Structure 1
Amino acid sequence: MSVEKVDTLVVGGGQAGVGMSEHLSKCGVPHLILERGRIAERWRSQRWDSLVANGPAWHDRFPGMEFPRTGPDDFAPKEEVADYFVAYAKQINAPIRCGVEVKLVQRNVGRPGFRVETSDRVIEANSIVAATGPFQIPVIPPVVPREAGMLQIHSSAYRNPEQLPKGAVLVVGAGSSGVQIADELQRAGKRVYLSVGPHDRPPRAYRGRDCCWWLGVLGKWEAEAPGPGTEHVTIAVTGARGGETIDFRRLAAQGLTLVGMTNAYQDGVMSFAPDLAKNIARGDASLMSLLDEADAYVACNGLDLPEEPAARRIDPDPECMSDPILELDLAEAGLSAIIWATGFAVDHSWLKVDAFDEKGRPRHQRGVSTEPGIYFLGLPWQSRRGSSFIWGVWHDAKHVADRISTQRKYLAYHAAAKREPVDA
């Protein structure tokens, strides 16, 4: 079988791959995108049925297209998000080849470029862009053994309440996914325990503006690195039911039982850390801090935005906070399922190049790898706080495409110089 040759190969046809294609085309860089599933596959098949985007449609999109069915201040359902990227790829004529998995990338020996083994054929490329995103391998901590006799699934495998057996549910993880799933299950009549760890809790909206707007005008999207100790802190925010500020005390009053971080399991008993009140207090502090900054911004700039004192109201602690559960006998509680909303790990095992540190993390500067010809896109904090968001990945793609284009010009000069006659 003949070897296919391309200038730049983009691995992944989600938001990162589509954004990358737009900027490569603008730079005149010939390229091909390989996607093992469908365009934006994870939005369709690895998210629950009722999921909507966490940011309003005016913000969570590419500059070149608006959402056709969702209003600018509303939150697009997951299927519309996937359809959006399909339509965007068509609009920019992105050269995406679906149903092809990249299995191995290795540098050519003694000549430029890389050899790429795929499920379809062998491809050679001068540059590789790993645009597979941050949500690749579901992480389930090895806490509860399989033989414990209950359903255990990751949040990426959850679809709807009808999927679960009768009985109570423990949701581990109180970021956006965990909170929304726990809330949905409780509203469906399930007895729900929610394990809450450290988190930030921004307002959904404040003084008539969405938190995405506040993060923008306050310059927080542009932060280039997370603060000390906050690299893995989850963000509790939701666009469900039109968007509302997540309030753990309200969820408890609604019927959820809050517990601290999940510690261990032994002989049918789950133990939790005595940190629930501390974790919720931390979330409260992050909320108040942002409200303070927003108020100061309004005063400094003389903006006509209505005051909202109700946003600062903190309800009394529910019993599950004042008298926290530290151990739970799962059988006595009637618990039949655990949903692990515990995040993802990246998988670059197919990329056999010298581009990673001793912990397997990409070595790069704004997506430009230390290994010449290798680039990354869609990584958390790739260049700023907003890098793994839809709009953020588009801007990062512009930078990466420019770097690829610049390298091609250097190589074109080298090739032309070799052809020029040397004066005697």
Structure 2
Amino acid sequence: MVSQNRDIDTLVVGAGQAGIAMSEHLSRHGVSHVVVERDRIAERWRTGRWDSLVANGPAWHDRFPGLEFDRTAADGFAGKDEVADYFEAYAQKFEAPVRTGTDVRRVTRQTGQSGFVVETSDGVFNVHRVVAATGPFQTPVIPAIAPQDARLTQLHSADYRNPAQLPEGGVLVVGAGSSGVQIAEELMLAGRDVYLSVGPHSRPPRSYRGRDFCWWLGVLGKWDAETTAPDQEHVTIAVSGAHGGRTVDFRKLAERGMTLVGRTQAFDHGQVCFEADLADNLAGGDTDYLALLDAADDYVARYGLDLPAEPEARRMTADPACVREPVRQLDLAAAGITTIIWATGYTVDYGWLDGLAALDDQGRPLHRRGIAAEPGIYFLGLPWLSHRGSSFIWGVWHDAKRIADHIATQRKYLAYHETTRARSAGESVEQAMPKAI
């Protein structure tokens, strides 16, 4: 029998970092709500990542204000299971109303009244508001150029776990953002021949003058940027907390045995072609890297900070042979490559928001700082939702606070309307007010 739940103001979809943050702020406002999650709390951290993954930000930074990590030092990088445990503990801390094992199938607008009908695997919810807190890592993307070749093992980075999972032989990793570069290095350290396809990227220093790059972005105001530069919209970030955290240096990876290639262009009869853009992509990453060092040095001088100079941070590794004489075409079999890992990102899937004006023709969210074009619908946890830090753990907490404040304000407007109507009709305010308000 399908259950009806009529006394819930807001339904939060997803119990990852975004959903838990949303629940905390709604609880503080006294908003009746439920968080529904198809799996477990923070499931993507547990089973949607490779085994050795650690957070890309230090523990003092990538956390919620109300709780510290208990197994990782402040300047360390928490492993994926500890991160998942952290969100479970955080949810328990304020008794978040989470229903796990509940899949949202369809959200439609109520007919002739405000609110939505939410159909789930655990029954139907009638609610005033819906927060889509499912995050950006929903549907793995493998480009159409992927070869149809049964001799090759191909998988997305979402399905990679460890080197032992792969067949013997070399590996081509396509994509050199945080996931691609960490997976490529792990495979190289496991003794594999690795080719890494490097596109345009941002390459910040892991730390500089004794401060993590997260700190520098904070004091320089760069986390607060509300829009990315037009030519940086699809640029990935190459940063890692692996091995205690260190700056990603593609040239040093090449010195240690990795073969760098440009962007992957096409496959044809066992041959793969690469763009002639490797040197330009590395140079672009260098420019981004040096610009942050310059800004940091200016900040130190302006405010007279006692932070030791670090001139060696500006010493660039010489271009290795694979950069000076780039590989433009490669016979996969001759190179011994048996696996391709596509570290090519994700797309969102909001197909369950059925017929609502919250999405554009391509199914992408239509919103302003998380407030959707469709009244009563909200998005949370997406990159650049309101600022550069929106998809980071601490950033999503602040976005959730702002959205919860908006919901609380909307409830006050509605409460005023119902109170005024009741008085005009000679009704008691208690009789007139909907239970969810």
Whether these two folds match at TM > 0.5 is yes
Query: Counterpart amino acid of 2:5?
Result: E
Matched, 1:48 2:35: no
1:317 paired residue number: 319
Question: Aligned pair count?
Answer: 423
Contact 1:52 1:78 in 2 (8 A): yes
1:210-359 map, 5 Å: 210-352=212-354, 353-359=356-362
Q: Secondary structure at 2:412's aligned position in 1? A: helix
* Aligned mates of 2:276, 2:127 — CA distance in 1: 53
2:399 paired residue number: 396
1:162-173 map, 5 Å: 162-173=164-175
Query: Counterpart amino acid of 1:363?
Result: L
Contact 2:351 2:363 in 1 (8 A): no
Query: Counterpart amino acid of 1:384?
Result: H
Aligned residues with identical type, % of pairs? 64
Give the deviation of 1:148 after TM superposition: 4.2
Matched, 1:411 2:417: no
Deviations 1:162-189 (A, max 9, x none): 0000000000000000000000000000
* Aligned mates of 2:154, 2:333 — CA distance in 1: 15
- Once the two structures are overlaid, the 10-residue window that deviates more, 82-91 or 364-373, is 364-373
- With structure 2 as the length reference, what TM-score do the two structures score? 0.96
Deviations 1:246-295 (A, max 9, x none): 00110000100000000000010000000000000000110110000000
1:187 paired residue number: 189
Give the deviation of 1:160 after TM superposition: 0.4
1:174 paired residue number: 176
Q: Secondary structure at 1:388's aligned position in 2? A: coil
* Aligned mates of 1:148, 1:226 — CA distance in 2: 40
Q: Secondary structure at 2:195's aligned position in 1? A: strand
- Once the two structures are overlaid, the 10-residue window that deviates more, 34-43 or 112-121, is 112-121
Query: Counterpart amino acid of 1:214?
Result: W
2:92 paired residue number: 90
Deviations 1:113-165 (A, max 9, x none): 10111112111111000000011000000213333421100001000000000
Contact 2:147 2:268 in 1 (8 A): no
Contact 2:13 2:19 in 1 (8 A): yes
Q: Secondary structure at 2:185's aligned position in 1? A: helix
Contact 1:201 1:237 in 2 (8 A): yes
Contact 1:148 1:268 in 2 (8 A): no
1:377 paired residue number: 380
1:357-368 map, 5 Å: 357-368=360-371
Deviations 1:9-30 (A, max 9, x none): 0000000000000000111111
Give the deviation of 1:408 after TM superposition: 1.0
1:3 paired residue number: 4
Q: Secondary structure at 2:232's aligned position in 1? A: coil
- TM-align CA RMSD: 1.0
Query: Counterpart amino acid of 1:111?
Result: Q
Contact 2:349 2:363 in 1 (8 A): no
Query: Counterpart amino acid of 2:389?
Result: G
Gapped regions of structure 2 (runs ≥ 5): 427-437
* Aligned mates of 2:192, 2:302 — CA distance in 1: 47
